[in-house]
Amino acid sequence: MFASLSIAMYLLGLVLRNQQLVTVAVVLLSFLTWAALRTAHGDVASTGKRMEDAAMDEGVQLQSIVAMRKTSSARVFEDGEIDVTVRIQNRSGVAKVLELRDRVPEVMRVKKGANYVLMEIGPKRETEISYTIETPLRGFYTIGPVCIRVQDELGLFHNEKEILLYDDFLVFPKMEDIKDAMVKSRVPKIFTGAVNIRNPGEGSNFYNLREYIPGDPMKKVNWKATARQDGKMMVNEFERDAVSDVILIVDSRAVSETGPVSRNSLVYSTRAAASLTQYFLSRRDSVGLVVYGDEIVSVDRDTGKKQLYIILTKLAGAMAKGNTPLKIVTNRIMPHIHRGSPIIILSPLEDDPTIIDAVRDLRARNFEVTVLSPSSLEFEFDARRIDRTGYEVLKTERDILITELRGLGAYVMDWEPDMLLFTALAGARGF
């Protein structure tokens, strides 16, 4: 701007033969030239093209700046925190005034410290900046690059460089403790029948006593019972621990992201799926996951803590894309799951005409179906994106659909935004 102004004044001065204007233009040009010399802005060659060498492109001022980053964790839950430390080294012998910004994902909030720092760094010195970011939403994220800018003292010119330093991290969906829902319910476990497989096996709960058979380990011998049976050796039998296969189906179609970024069906579904996974795995059930959107992603049934993290990782990466119908998903998975296994569908039940057919098929094959449906209508209505009339009409249609699903024998819960997961689950089971 100053350069254009000075050239305009210079030319106008010559035309009007006005020494005053020409002098001002000359002073302004000299001012700019000196500032340019001080910033080494002269690495822009006189032809107007930058020099061929990419390294030279950034000028000497930036070449000797090195950045290193350390993060406190690469895996964190929603609403968690990550501490980031960036170490900056000035390997040259000249002091520099640097503007440094470590790019953090847009949805993250810097809670403590600053990722944007202005500093003077002495020759052959290093300094550290640290900050803490809050992770409000699940997903795969990257911190970086580190953007560095060197300005002249008067702020007229600057050189910039991006240090391609990246750190990836994973934010798992938040988990809610749903044990309360079970304690308060009238039956001890959500899924009776198919879940309570009362068969003897290698478990920890006592099942019954039986006579000793050669080959039984001696640690299983119940000596008190043996003494009571006049020398007939009795052994303890235990209940088999792995009680059921639970399948969670999460709808991650594009429509599931309807509503505000932090309050939509997909966010609620992933959180519910994470909480349910943790609950069932803690009961030693085996849990499988199917996430469908533009493609069908599945995690095979398994037990244990490792399975929890595998499922959490898949849930963290669930993107709202595509429009795969539920029927295609159920047709694909049905041959691979045991009859009677409970299936929990987490879906807004929107924009899919195959829902009824899919649930009917599952019920016909004796699967116990529970539908937990975060209502995107409520999200949109709360955000004032639809008017009252539209809301009422759409709500009526949704209620009809839910009634129809219940008529097929599925447990369905219309999960409203302010409802806690365990309340929704209790409602779904009709407790």
Partner 1 sequence: MAEENSKGPVDTAHLYDGKVVRSSAPSRVKAAGTLKRDTGIPDDAMPEIEIPGWIETIFGGPVLTTRKFLPPDRMVVSLQIWSSASLLVLTFLTFMLTPVSGTAWFTLSNILGIGFIGLAIHWILMLIGLIGGFFGISQRDQRALLASYVALILVTVRFAGSKVEYGLSFLPEDETIQKILLILYAVFLVMYIEISSGIIRFSMLDTSIRTGEVYVMNVNAITRRYTRALSVTPAVAGFVAMLTLFINLIIPAFVGILDPVAANRLRESVELTSVYGVALGTILVFIIIASMFAINLPLRIQQYTERQS
196-215: contacts with partner 1 (CB under 8 A): none
Tokens (6 digits) for 78: 């929603």
Q: Is 262 in the site for partner 1 (CB under 8 A)?
A: no
Q: Is 389 in the site for partner 1 (CB under 8 A)?
A: yes
Alpha-carbon span 88 to 389, nearest angstrom: 58
Single residue of 57, 60, 107, 294 touching partner 1 by CB under 8 A: 60
Q: Is 120 in the site for partner 1 (CB under 8 A)?
A: yes
Tokens (6 digits) for 124: 């052959």
φ, ψ of residue 118 to 5 degrees: the values are -110, 130
Q: How far is the CB of 393 from partner 1 (least distance, A)?
A: 6
Q: How far is the CB of 128 from partner 1 (least distance, A)?
A: 10
* Strand, helix or coil for residue 81: strand
Q: Which is nearer to partner 1, 29 or 225 (CB)?
A: 29
Tell me which residues in 277-316 interact with partner 1 (CB under 8 A): none
Would you say 13 and 43 are in contact if contact means Cβ atoms under 8 Å apart?
no
Please tell me the count of residues contacting partner 1 according to CB under 8 A: 84
Q: Is 38 in the site for partner 1 (CB under 8 A)?
A: yes
Tell me which residues in 5-34 interact with partner 1 (CB under 8 A): 9-10, 12-14, 16-24, 26-31, 33-34
Single residue of 7, 53, 64, 297 touching partner 1 by CB under 8 A: 64
Tell me which residues in 342-371 interact with partner 1 (CB under 8 A): 349-353, 355-356
Single residue of 58, 78, 102, 152 touching partner 1 by CB under 8 A: 152
Q: Which residues contact 26 (CB under 8 A, 6 or more apart)?
A: 10
Would you say 119 and 97 are in contact if contact means Cβ atoms under 8 Å apart?
yes
Single residue of 65, 76, 84, 129 touching partner 1 by CB under 8 A: 129
Q: How far is the CB of 95 from partner 1 (least distance, A)?
A: 8
Q: How far is the CB of 23 from partner 1 (least distance, A)?
A: 5
Q: Which residues contact 110 (CB under 8 A, 6 or more apart)?
A: 104, 131, 132, 133, 134
φ, ψ of residue 97 to 5 degrees: the values are -100, 120
First to last CA, the chain: 72
194 HSE (CA, 13 A, CB side): 18
* Strand, helix or coil for residue 423: helix
Q: Is 261 in the site for partner 1 (CB under 8 A)?
A: no
User: What letter does residue 239 receive in the DSSP assignment?
Assistant: B
Q: Is 118 in the site for partner 1 (CB under 8 A)?
A: yes
φ, ψ of residue 10 to 5 degrees: the values are -65, -50
Single residue of 68, 87, 116, 321 touching partner 1 by CB under 8 A: 116
Per-residue CA distances from 186 to 137, 315, 425 (Å):
35, 31, 13
* Number of Cβ atoms within 10 Å of the Cβ of 128: 10
Q: Is 147 in the site for partner 1 (CB under 8 A)?
A: no
- Binding segment for partner 1 (CB under 8 A), chosen from 39-47, 141-149, 241-249, 363-371, is 39-47
Q: Which is nearer to partner 1, 295 or 397 (CB)?
A: 397
Alpha-carbon span 36 to 188, nearest angstrom: 77
Q: Which is nearer to partner 1, 119 or 197 (CB)?
A: 119
Q: Is 37 in the site for partner 1 (CB under 8 A)?
A: yes
Q: Is 401 in the site for partner 1 (CB under 8 A)?
A: yes
